[in-house]
C-alpha cells in the first residue's frame, strides 16, 4: 500500500501516519520528496484493507494499493529510476558502471595486474571471487579471507570499488569490512536467510538472477533486501537455463527492458557467465548496453588458459581493452557515457 501525502504539509503529519502504520503491524518506508512525500506500508498481505482507513488522517491525499507482488522494488512505488553509488561508480546514472576482474582471486600479482588493467581501460569496479560456490566439493573453493585482503589492497592502489560474493549469512559482516558491494550469486537468489542478512547491512548489493528464476521471482528476491531497509540493490541478468547448448546459459537480454519497465532499480548484464564463451562476450556486452542496461560485469584474466575457474569465458587484456573502446559509441547511442 502506498500512502501519498499532500504537498506543503507539516512533517508531523508524516510522522503520525508512520506511527499508525507501525501500530497496525506494518513496516513503513518513506520517500521524502520536494513536492510531496510518499510512504510505503509493507507486511503481511492478509488484512491490508485496514490500511485504507489511513485516508482520514490529516495530510493524507490518497491510499493506493501496489498491484505488483513486489512493492518497494516497483515503479508504482517509486517512478524515478534509482541510482546506486559504489565508490566512484554510479549504477543507474548517466555514466555506465563497468565491473571487471577475474572469476576467482588467485594471487596478489594477478589481482593487482588486473585491477590496474581494469582501471586503465575505464572500469570503475573490481570483481573477484574469494569465496566460490562450486558445483563440486572437490573443486577449488576460493582463497577466502586472504583473497579479500588482496582485493582491498588492489582497491587502495587503484581507487576502484570492490565487489565480491558472499555465500552465507554468517560471513556477511566480515566480507562487508573489505568489500564495497556484496554479491549474491545466482545459486543463492532465493537463499532468503542470506537476502535478509545483506538487507540488514547497509552495503550495496549486487543481486544476480537465478538461472531458473522468472523476472517476477527476481524482483521478489530484491524485495527481501529492500524490505529490510537496504535500497542499494543492483540487479544483474546473467543467463537462464534453456535447451540450447551452443552457449553455457542463454543470456536473456529481454529481461533488461522488462525489468526497466517494472522496477526503479538499476540493471546490469553479465555476458561472461551468460554466454560462457569469450568470443560472444563483446557482442553481447554491446547488445546489453543497446537495450538499456546500466552497466556490465565482465570477467578478465591475464592468461585465461591457466585460470583456475571459468577461463573459457574470460577476456584477455587486449580483448577487454578493445571492447571498452568499441563500447563507447554504443554507450553514446544509448544516451550514456563510459
Q: Does 289 bind a copy of itself (CB under 8 A)?
A: yes
Pick from 182, 220, 154: which is nearest to 84 by CA? 182
- Over its C-alpha atoms, the chain yields an Rg (Å, rounded) of 21
Q: Given candidates 53, 62, 107, 242, which one binds a copy of itself under the rule CB under 8 A? A: 242
CB contact set of 266 (below 8 Å; sequence gap of 6+): 81, 82, 83, 84, 91, 92, 97, 234, 235, 294, 295
Q: How far is the CB of 166 from a copy of itself (least distance, A)?
A: 10
> Binders of a copy of itself: how many residues, by CB under 8 A?
75
Residue from 9, 287, 312, 319 in contact with a copy of itself (CB under 8 A) = 287
Minimum CB–partner distance for residue 42 and a copy of itself (Å): 6
**Closest approach of Cβ 288 to a copy of itself, in Å?**
7
d(CA 248, CA 270): 13
The CB density around residue 306, as the number of other CB atoms within 10 Å, is: 9
Alpha-carbon span 321 to 289, nearest angstrom: 17
Nearest-angstrom CA–CA distance, 99 and 101? 7
State in angstroms the smallest separation of the CB of 210 from a copy of itself.
7
What's the closest the beta carbon of residue 250 comes to a copy of itself, in angstroms? Answer: 6
Stretch that binds a copy of itself, among 87-95, 102-110, 155-163, 220-228 (CB under 8 A): 220-228
**Binder among 64, 85, 217, 322 for a copy of itself (CB under 8 A):** 217
Residue ranges in the chain assigned as alpha helix (H): 11-23, 108-121, 145-158, 172-178, 192-200, 215-226, 255-262, 271-275, 278-290, 317-333
Q: Which of 258, 302, 312, 319 binds a copy of itself (CB under 8 A)?
A: 258
Please say whether the beta carbons of 13 and 70 come within 8 A.
Answer: no
Count H helices and E strands in the chain, helices first. 10, 14
For a copy of itself, the binding residues in 44-83 under the rule CB under 8 A are: 44-45, 69, 71
**For a copy of itself, which residue of 7, 33, 94, 329 counts as binding (CB under 8 A)?**
329
127-156: which residues touch a copy of itself (CB under 8 A)? 133-140
Angle between helices 108-121 and 317-333 (to 10 degrees): 30
Question: Site for a copy of itself (CB under 8 A): which residue of 79, 245, 306, 318?
Answer: 245
Tell me which of 5, 14, 123, 167 binds a copy of itself, using CB under 8 A. Answer: 167
Phi and psi, residue 61, nearest 5°: -90, -45
Which of 336, 230, 326, 226 has its CA nearest to residue 292? 336
Q: Out of 62, 156, 212, 303, point to the residue binding a copy of itself (CB under 8 A).
A: 212
Cβ 271 to a copy of itself shortest distance, Å: 9
Site for a copy of itself in 187-206 (CB under 8 A): 187-188, 190-194, 196
Taking the least distance from each CB to a copy of itself, the nearer of 117 and 267 is 267
Q: Which is nearer to a copy of itself, 151 or 289 (CB)?
A: 289
Q: How far is the CB of 280 from a copy of itself (least distance, A)?
A: 5
Question: Looking at 49, 67, 244, 305, which residue binds a copy of itself (CB under 8 A)?
Answer: 244
Amino acid at each position: 500500500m502506498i500512502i501519498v501525502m499532500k504537498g506543503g504539509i507539516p512533517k508531523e503529519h508524516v510522522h503520525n501516519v508512520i506511527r499508525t502504520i507501525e501500530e497496525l503491524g506494518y513496516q513503513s518506508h518513506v520517500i521524502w520528496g520536494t513536492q510531496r512525500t510518499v510512504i510505503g506500508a509493507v507486511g503481511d498481505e492478509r488484512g491490508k484493507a485496514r490500511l485504507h482507513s489511513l485516508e482520514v488522517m490529516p495530510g493524507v491525499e490518497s491510499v493506493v494499493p501496489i498491484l505488483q507482488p513486489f512493492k518497494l522494488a516497483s515503479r508504482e512505488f517509486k517512478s524515478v529510476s534509482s541510482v546506486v553509488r559504489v565508490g566512484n561508480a554510479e549504477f543507474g546514472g548517466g555514466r555506465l558502471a563497468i565491473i571487471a576482474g577475474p572469476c576467482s582471486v588467485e594471487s596478489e600479482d594477478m589481482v593487482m595486474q588486473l585491477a590496474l588493467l581494469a582501471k586503465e581501460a575505464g572500469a570503475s569496479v573490481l570483481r573477484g571471487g574469494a569465496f566460490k560456490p562450486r558445483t563440486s566439493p572437490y573443486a577449488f573453493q576460493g582463497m577466502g579471507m586472504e583473497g579479500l585482503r588482496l582485493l582491498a589492497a588492489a582497491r587502495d592502489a587503484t581507487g576502484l570499488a570492490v565487489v565480491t560474493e558472499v555465500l552465507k549469512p554468517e560471513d556477511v559482516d566480515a566480507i562487508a569490512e573489505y568489500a564495497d558491494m556484496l554479491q549474491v550469486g545466482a545459486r543463492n537468489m532465493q537463499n532468503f536467510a542470506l537476502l535478509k542478512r545483506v538487507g540488514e547491512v547497509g552495503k550495496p548489493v549486487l543481486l544476480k538472477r537465478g538461472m531458473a528464476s522468472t523476472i517476477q521471482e527476481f524482483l521478489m528476491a530484491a524485495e527481501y533486501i529492500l524490505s529490510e531497509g537496504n535500497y542499494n540493490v543492483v540487479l544483474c541478468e546473467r543467463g537462464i537455463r534453456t535447451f540450447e547448448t551452443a552457449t553455457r546459459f542463454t543470456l536473456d537480454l529481454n529481461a533488461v527492458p522488462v525489468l526497466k519497465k517494472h522496477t526503479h532499480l538499476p540493471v546490469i548484464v553479465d555476458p561472461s557467465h551468460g554466454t560462457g564463451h569469450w568470443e560472444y562476450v563483446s557482442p553481447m556486452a554491446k547488445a546489453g548496453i543497446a537495450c538499456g542496461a546500466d552497466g556490465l560485469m565482465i570477467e578478465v584474466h591475464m592468461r585465461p588458459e591457466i585460470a583456475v575457474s571459468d577461463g573459457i569465458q574470460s577476456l584477455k587484456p587486449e580483448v577487454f581493452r578493445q571492447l571498452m573502446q568499441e563500447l563507447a559509441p554504443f554507450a553514446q547511442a544509448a544516451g550514456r557515457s563510459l
